[in-house]
Structure 1
Amino acid sequence: MAFGDLKTEKGIKELNSFLEDKSYISGYQLSQADLDTFSQVSKAPGANLPHALRWYNHVKSYSAEELKSLGITGASPLKSATTTTASANDDDDVDLFASDEEEDAEAAKVREERLKAYAEKKSKKPELIAKSSIVLDVKPWDDETDMKELEKVTRSIEMDGLVWGASKLMPVGYGINKLQIMCVVEDAKVSVDELVEEIEKFEDFVQSVDIAAFNKI
């Protein structure tokens, strides 16, 4: 998917329009396409481009460990290439097998400081956050149910660790459509059962909610 030059306002506006009803550049979860597109964006989109900004912040939140769990290779958006290179050079500079006999007092001091900095850096390694990508089937009562309002009340549910994604209407039969909507949740913060219960509380619109797909990411 080409959006033109993403370092220009025109390119970012095209990206924002594309993401209006999508959570990712391709498919229902983060992919290499998102990282490739992210690398072309020079800075965070403005608040007047909410869809592009939401996507930008979501992609930026992934650590290297999370990318690896998705089978995506490459540097994490959390770190620039310059920072990554500098970190690698810092690691290479730590000589754990230097001979004490060859070190003078100043060299020993420098080595001690580098070892301390290296240990501190390792201890601050970000914790891997377990997430799941879920597709929900939200079923109305009949063909007279206002599906736009049904989607509106569904998306009105806010939880820490919950991000709503793309949606579409799927025919069920007899002129009735169901709402199929995707979301990403942090497993430690959001209970799927609780989320389903919250949606089903909108009894004027919702008959039932089923889980159509559930994938760990």
Structure 2
Amino acid sequence: MGFGDLKKKDGLSALNAYLVDKSYIEGYQPSQADAVVFDALIGPPPADLENALRWYNHIKSYGAGRSSFPGQKKDVSSYGSAGKAAPAAGGDDDDDDDIDLFGSDDEDAKAEREKRLAEYAAKKAKKPAVIAKSSLLIDVKPWDDETDMKALEEAVRSIQADGLLWGASKLVPVGYGIKKLQINAVIEDDKISTDFLEEEITGFEDFVQSMDIAAFNKI
């Protein structure tokens, strides 16, 4: 079990293959499994390992909040697998026959194995790439009760980028006559990061005191 040495390319490749259809190491929300595996890396995976890099950037965006992820910490070798096996017969819609392609040195078996692997690779290549998206609920806090909240929202919505879509918003009282802006956004994970949004929003220093991600959900 485990991904192997996550400080080497083989380990990162195993992590990338594991995350091809997953957002997190375990379950459907960040957990201590993600924190443990993240801490085992020495830095971001290379760009050609797009699944691992997407996951890394997402977990990195939580910063020190990773320590409060739910779940129990285990040894990093307890998570994932050393690689992803080819799908078993009837396991998915690839209709692979139940045939032992790896248990014989016979030339016919070798030829059949190479043929089936080529067909499998071609079939996978034809499948359209899934665009990973996330829905964010963002809290933007002004300096005081005299801040022009309409101008603040206009400033936030003026941030335009490929892979970013602003949604509904509302003003929420926080006390002493001060209201914060709560606004929804949908992002494409490979194009927009929470670090980018924080840098852009807090850049409006005349209006914005701070920004927080109140909710983060995969779509």
TM-score of the superposed pair, with normalisation by structure 2: 0.44
Structure with the higher helix share, 1 or 2: 1
